[in-house]
């Protein structure tokens, strides 16, 4: 009883294998027919390049607060001198002191135990924003690391995380478009070769999203990215290219 069953299993397995081979051949044939029907092939190519930011944007601010506006202005002027001296001692001479923001610190002053109160100004708060845009990234980064010393001088100072910008994105995009198209051509040639054909001229090319991401990052976006958080970055370009077939 065992031998007929084994024979039957062998027949079924053989039929399944034959059906799989036929199906694979049909799929390959359909793909080949589709390529030849259009006489063209569309392939996606990509290119990557590591870059370094060439512009740093550093923003900070410091403030003073006093009961009178004159006192607050006097204190802010003294702090401005300290900040300017600090920047100059670090070789930073392109800082821009932006317009001062003046804020009244108001509150309620109760007149009696019944809850009656008056609105009054308790103090004046003056904030001085400072901005630096520089191509000397190393100098500004070193200054940023040492800026906490201003707090030790009594300055109410805060600095935002520096922004690292790559200003040659437009030029690089053109370069990367060419490299991605070369990659697409190589891929198309390999695919066409498998079918016994050769690729001809470029019929069209459509650029996908252009990504500038932190180095070694896996971040992506359907709308493209332009990272400003990292000094070292990677540029990625994607192109969908269509080539004629010979």
What is the count of structural domains for the chain?
A: 2
Asked if pLDDT for residue 14 goes beyond 60, the answer is no
Percent of the chain residues past pLDDT 70, beyond the cut: 79
| Residue 129 belongs to some domain of the structure | yes
**Domain shared by 151 and 198, yes or no:** no
**Domain shared by 63 and 140, yes or no:** yes
| Residue 203 belongs to some domain of the structure | yes
Q: What per-residue confidence (pLDDT) applies to 106?
A: 77
Q: Which of 119, 146, 165 is the last residue of a domain?
A: 165
**Domain shared by 100 and 66, yes or no:** yes
* pLDDT tens sequence across 45-99: 999 999 999 999 999 999 999 999 999 999 999 999 999 999 999 999 999 999 9
| Residue 10 belongs to some domain of the structure | no
Higher pLDDT: 220 or 5? It is 220
Asked if pLDDT for residue 117 goes beyond 70, the answer is no
Q: Residue 217 belongs to what domain range? A: 37-52+167-245
* pLDDT tens sequence across 162-190: 999 999 999 999 999 999 999 999 999 99
Q: Which of 90, 73, 54 is nearest to 166 (CA)?
A: 54
Q: Alpha-carbon distance 100 to 81, whole Å?
A: 15
Q: Rounded to two decimals, what is the model's pTM?
A: 0.73
* pLDDT tens sequence across 219-244: 877 778 899 999 999 999 999 999 99
């Amino acid at each position: 009883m065992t031998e007929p069953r084994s024979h039957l299993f062998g027949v079924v397995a053989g039929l399944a294998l034959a059906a799989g081979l036929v199906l694979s051949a049909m799929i390959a044939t359909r793909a080949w027919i589709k390529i030849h029907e259009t006489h063209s092939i569309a392939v996606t190519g990509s290119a990557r390049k590591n870059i370094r930011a060439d512009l740093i944007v550093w923003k900070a601010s410091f403030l003073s607060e006093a009961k009178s506006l004159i006192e607050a202005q006097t204190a802010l002027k003294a702090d401005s001198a300290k900040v300017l001296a600090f920047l100059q001692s670090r070789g930073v001479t392109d800082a821009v002191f932006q317009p001062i923001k003046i804020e009244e610190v108001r509150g309620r002053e109760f007149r009696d135990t019944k809850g009656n109160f008056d609105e009054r100004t308790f103090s004046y708060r003056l904030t001085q924003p400072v901005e630096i845009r520089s191509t000397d990234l190393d100098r500004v980064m070193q200054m940023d690391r040492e800026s906490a010393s201003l707090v030790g001088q009594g300055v109410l100072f805060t600095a935002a995380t520096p922004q690292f910008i790559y200003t040659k994105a437009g030029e690089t995009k053109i370069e990367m478009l060419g490299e991605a198209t070369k990659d697409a051509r190589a891929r198309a040639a390999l695919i066409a070769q498998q079918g016994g054909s050769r690729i001809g001229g470029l019929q069209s090319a459509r650029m996908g999203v252009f990504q500038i991401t932190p180095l070694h990052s896996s971040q992506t976006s359907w709308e493209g990215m332009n990272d400003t958080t990292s000094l070292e970055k990677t540029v990625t370009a994607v192109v969908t290219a269509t080539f004629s077939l010979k």
